[in-house]
Amino acid sequence: MKLKLKILSVAALALSIGVSMSNPSAYAQSGSSTDSFPKPHNFKPLIESAPSANKSADQKKVPPKNIDLQNQNLRSLTVAEDTYGTNTSPDQALTINSNTITNGYITQQGESRWYKTSVPANLKLTAYMAAGATNTDYDLALYRLNTTTSTLEQVSLSSKGAGLYELLSYIATSGTYYISVTSYQGADTTNPFTLFTTQSDSYDQSEPDDNPWFAKDRGTTPFTSQQNIDNALDEDWSKITLNAQSKVNLRLNNTSANGTYMLQIWDANLKSLGTLNQNADGQIILPAGSYYVQVMAPSNFDLTTPYTLSVNYQNAAITRVAISEVVSDRGVQGMVNYGYGKKWRVGYNITVKGRAFDATGNPIANGLVSVGVKVKLNNKIITQVGTTDSMGYFSVPLNIGPAIGQYSYSAPVSTHYFDIIDIAFASGTNTVQADINTLYHFAYSS
């Protein structure tokens, strides 16, 4: 089956995104390189495309979890002493400094290059790595040195596919941290990979969440998340899961005058499904499966002003409505019991008010609700369509005209004549369940 991805009515999504790279001057404090800091993005707006079949994003082999350093001769070299890399094992790790660009080479597939850096206090440690050529696939892992056991304990990793940079973060206690860059596929002695680390003393409560493996799992329910971007590399990832094809509503609110953010949607295979600028509404229809929402700062960030990410869902299928009120003219408004159960009593002009839900009970925003009434006079059917609001509420007016008075009810001072008429609901071509199916259609009293 061909899966279709649609954008509904959101002009902002059609904008192409201009990209400027992170500002290198913010990092080049003691650098071995003064090249501009590369964090390549290849943005595209959310556009129609067919998501590929869902697979887990973490199928790749990952670096070893724990590495025993006992009985190994640790050395201390600087990057300048070992430009082309004999640092192929942890005991040969090169010391790198925070906020410094390091370049390295891997000479054959499967090799690693090792680095170590010290974290002086409790800080968030961020590491970024980009391979030099897009046909190589290098991965990044972070280890903490357990000084008691002389073991490197893996505390984070990032292992995306070829052509994607790697990014990880870790809420670190003070100590020595080891970083491995490992070739999963290919090698390149012409184009160096780039490694960069930074440390943040202030960060939001969802950290670390800088890649899909550490994405905050938001499950299947709508959420809002208030977070901040604490450094130019910081990315905040959320994982969402759709049990069925769904319309996903996205919005990234940011009031900062200094930071400019955007979000990007990824499928489970880490294929980008497009981007959305801050302060714009986006909606995308996605098949069942898991997806990632990535928030990032392509150009500049503002540590002090949080953004708010909102994700909610609009299932295409309304399956149930709950009627709160049927408003009527002719002074017969309200629920009465004419001997056939309590029903809404109506005259000529009525307004049917209620709320629409999907099969799992979520209110459906922007859904279509059709209301149909069949009166006894000429068995005429009157229908009208309304749209639900952002909370799933709808209000649909109909002019159903007069009743013929098939039934009567003896009230204390008069007799009321009325019909019992059918009312039904639909959404598109689907029948919708409702908590009412008949009305008292008031004719006259005598």
Alpha carbons 82 and 80: distance in angstroms, whole number:
6
Nearer to Ca ion, 234 or 302 (CB): 234
- Nearest Cα neighbor of 435 from 380, 355, 379 is 355
Label the pairing between strands 342-346 and 438-445. parallel
Alpha carbons 113 and 82: distance in angstroms, whole number:
11
Alpha carbons 378 and 401: distance in angstroms, whole number:
11
Q: What is the largest CA-CA distance in the chain?
A: 106
Nearer to Ca ion, 295 or 443 (CB): 295
- Least distance from C-beta 372 to Ca ion, angstroms? 50
CA geometry: angle 222, 241, 57, nearest 5 deg: 140
- Nearest Cα neighbor of 140 from 180, 111, 108, 98 is 180
Nearer to Ca ion, 234 or 419 (CB): 234
Nearer to Ca ion, 45 or 259 (CB): 259
The secondary structure element, H or E, covering residue 237 is: strand 235-242
Alpha carbons 304 and 227: distance in angstroms, whole number:
10
Nearer to Ca ion, 204 or 267 (CB): 204
Integer-rounded Cα Rg, in Å, for the chain is 31
Where along the sequence are the contacts to Ca ion (CB under 5 A)?
137, 139, 160, 204, 209-210, 227, 234, 236
- Least distance from C-beta 93 to Ca ion, angstroms? 20
- Least distance from C-beta 174 to Ca ion, angstroms? 21
- Least distance from C-beta 289 to Ca ion, angstroms? 22
Alpha carbons 55 and 58: distance in angstroms, whole number:
9
Nearer to Ca ion, 212 or 367 (CB): 212
- Nearest Cα neighbor of 403 from 416, 384, 412, 385 is 416
- Least distance from C-beta 66 to Ca ion, angstroms? 21
- Least distance from C-beta 25 to Ca ion, angstroms? 22
Nearer to Ca ion, 236 or 302 (CB): 236
C-alpha dist (Å) from residue 162 to 53, 63, 130, 252, 316 = 19, 16, 10, 28, 35
Residues 6+ apart with CB under 8 A from 182: 63, 110, 111, 112, 138, 139, 140, 141
Phi, psi of 388 (to 5 degrees): -75, 150
- Least distance from C-beta 184 to Ca ion, angstroms? 6
Nearer to Ca ion, 275 or 314 (CB): 275
- Least distance from C-beta 129 to Ca ion, angstroms? 8
